[in-house]
Structure 1
Amino acid sequence: MEETRNDMTQRPFRFAVGFSAAGSRAEWRDKARQAEDLGYDVIQVPDHLGMTSPFPTLVAMAEATNRVHVGTMVLNAGFYRPALLARDVASVDQLTDGRFEFGLGAGPDFAKPEFEAAGLPFPGGRQRIENLRATIGEIRTLFGNGHQPPVHRRIPLLVAGRGDRLVRVAAEHADTVSLAGVPVSADIESEKAGTVALAQRVEFVRAAAGERFPDLEVGLMLQAVDVHGHAETDLSLPRRFNPDLSDAQLRYLPGVLHGSAHSIADTLRHYRDAYSITHYSVSETHMTALAKVIEQLR
């Protein structure tokens, strides 16, 4: 199936950029202001040991900006007790004047050394995903039962994932389903094949979400962006998730964009119109390249 039905009211595009490191509070603030000036809608930070703690970082960046939202991409559910995480989420939402977007994940396989360093058990993948599901339910129950500090709105929940089980949890419980790559065959031989894989993935989300689908924001994590005349394509991230594909095959992936700013903008319009994908996240490495595309879509 090459295209999926679009039975949703057309959503506006939203663009997010992720920052993972800075040397000072001033540098974090400068990065935030740059992202806002470039037209991004959300600034995101990861959740890994050895990096700056996400919650105070987000508060500092929100204080330096006026419009842009701040969020996590993504918190590792296995690091937290739900009641303590709910306290932090509610606090950050209050301290950012309601600009916080709560990104949560199950914890990737490569995080095992971080669990060990934190003195935490590292469950199998199925267990980590079930823990994510339970954490979402417990936090929403706490927020619905007079949690302190109080929560005055439904804080939007983003769940990012790639495998079937994780994407199903996202489709069933999240407000934004962010596809962290799209599974493709090992012999992928064209961009059309990548687009077919994307359509199939969105159909999987639709089936898992059921009646919720019209209310979902569907997202795609962009692993590389090459605007002609700007830079050569950095394929290090897609290669990390698809180590068996050649460089030529990596360029066929739907999360790897290359071409003129105008042609990439047309691609994203097609993804929106055909597959209801309107949320796009990119790493800092590709921030200025994608900004050229954002200019075409505003």
Structure 2
Amino acid sequence: MNDQARRVTRPFRFGVVAPIGSDLPTWRDRVRRIADNGYSTLLMPDVPTWQPAIGPTLATAAALADLRIGSWVYAAALREPWSTAWEAHSLSVLTDGRFEMGIGAGRPGIEVELGLPAVSPAERRARMRETVAALRRFDGPDLHTPVVMAVSGPKSQALALEVADAVTFVLPAEDDRFETTNRVRDFPGGRDIELGQHVAAVGDGVAPFMAPPNLDTAALRAADSLVILPSDPAAAAEEIERRREEIGFSYFVIGADFADTLAPVVAKLAGQ
């Protein structure tokens, strides 16, 4: 029996990346609507200068609606482990355990664009490890902040297998279904780790903060890429069920612009 066959089938849950891209009253209404539509988690990207900082924004969202919150994802290239862990632990405490820490290496070159020293891939992974270790020390024996780790190559996957509760795979847009399936199936299944998927596009739309704006949705469909979902809710639900059955994905993260479009999918599948 292979690793994929040994994995536990997890119930579906759905997250929404919802940066503040408009006036505050509109964003607050969107947060409440996301919660009302049954999404499990409201997530915030780590893109300095484009929006308010993750910590206070997520704390505000948690006060607006009864749903989980999380970083999608803290960029290790920009962050020192101790202070990131302190912020993550603080959000867990202030939300009564509703925070989950997403963390990854960070987009290549992001730190240089912001005027910071370049950080090597090895140092990024070291920071990720140190951040989780510091978080566990802050949490102590009575709290466990879930960690979702964005992974790409074998070294980051090995780290996630060691310290994370869930993983999301950084999938090249040009990968087809076969390549993605093999990539995820190669991830060891010895531990029960939730498998999440970052969905960058729905129908003909591309989510801000989740992919380059010039991403070619027609090319994605032609390549049978899994970074896109159909905009028709029935077709999207069928595709999501297929991805869990064939690959093991159970946590799907979309952009806020598509939250209303896929609300019927969430109503049908969340918790199933």
Which category of TM-score, normalised to the shorter sequence, fits these structures? 0.7 to 0.9
Structure 1 gaps, min length 5 = 145-150, 186-193, 227-231
- Percent sequence identity is 27
Give structure 1 regions of 4+ aligned residues with deviation exceeding 4 angstroms: 22-25, 182-185, 235-239
Pairing of 1:58-69 with structure 2 (within 5 A): 58-66=58-66, 68-69=67-68
Match of 1:264, as an amino acid? Answer: A
- Partner-residue secondary structure (3-state), 2:82: helix
8 A Cα contact 1:48 1:114, kept in partner: no
Match of 1:189 in 2: none
1:229 aligns with none
> Aligned pair in 2 of structure 1 residues 143, 54: CA closer, same or farther (>3 Å)?
same
Q: Number of matched residues? A: 266
Show the counterpart of 1:188. none
The correspondence for 2:177, drawn from 195, 204, 210, is 195
Which residue of 2 is the match for residue 170 of structure 1?
160
Give CA deviations for 1:74-96 in whole Å, capped at 9, x if unaligned.
Answer: 11223333332222222111111
Aligned mates of 1:241, 1:169 — CA distance in 2: 31
Partner of 2:260, secondary structure, is helix
Q: Distance in 1 between matches of 2:29 and 2:254?
A: 18
Structure 2: any 5+ residue segments left out of the alignment? none
Partners of 1:273 and 1:15 lie apart in 2 by 17
User: Which residue identity lines up with residue 253 of structure 1 in the other structure?
Assistant: S
What is the root-mean-square deviation in Å for CA atoms of aligned residues?
2.8
Counterpart secondary structure, 1:135: helix
Residue correspondence of structure 1 range 99-178 to structure 2 within 5 A: 99-116=98-115, 120-144=116-140, 152-178=142-168
Q: What is the alpha-carbon distance in structure 1 between the residues aligned to residue 139 and residue 83 of structure 2?
A: 12
Alpha carbons of 1:70 and 1:238: their partners in 2 closer, same or farther (altered >3 Å)?
closer
Select the structure of larger CA radius of gyration: 1
Contact 1:72 1:102 in 2 (8 A): yes
TM-score, normalised by the number of residues in structure 2: 0.85
Cα pair distance change 1:223/1:183, threshold 3 Å: closer
Alignment CA distance shift 1:238-1:253 (3 Å) = farther
Please name the residue that 2:20 is paired with: 21
Contact 2:82 2:131 in 1 (8 A): no
Q: Cα offset for 1:153?
A: 1.8
Q: How does 1:44-63 map to 2 (within 5 A)?
A: 44-50=43-49, 51-63=51-63
Contact 1:18–1:73 (CA<8 Å) still a contact in 2? yes
Q: Partner of 2:220 in structure 1?
A: 250
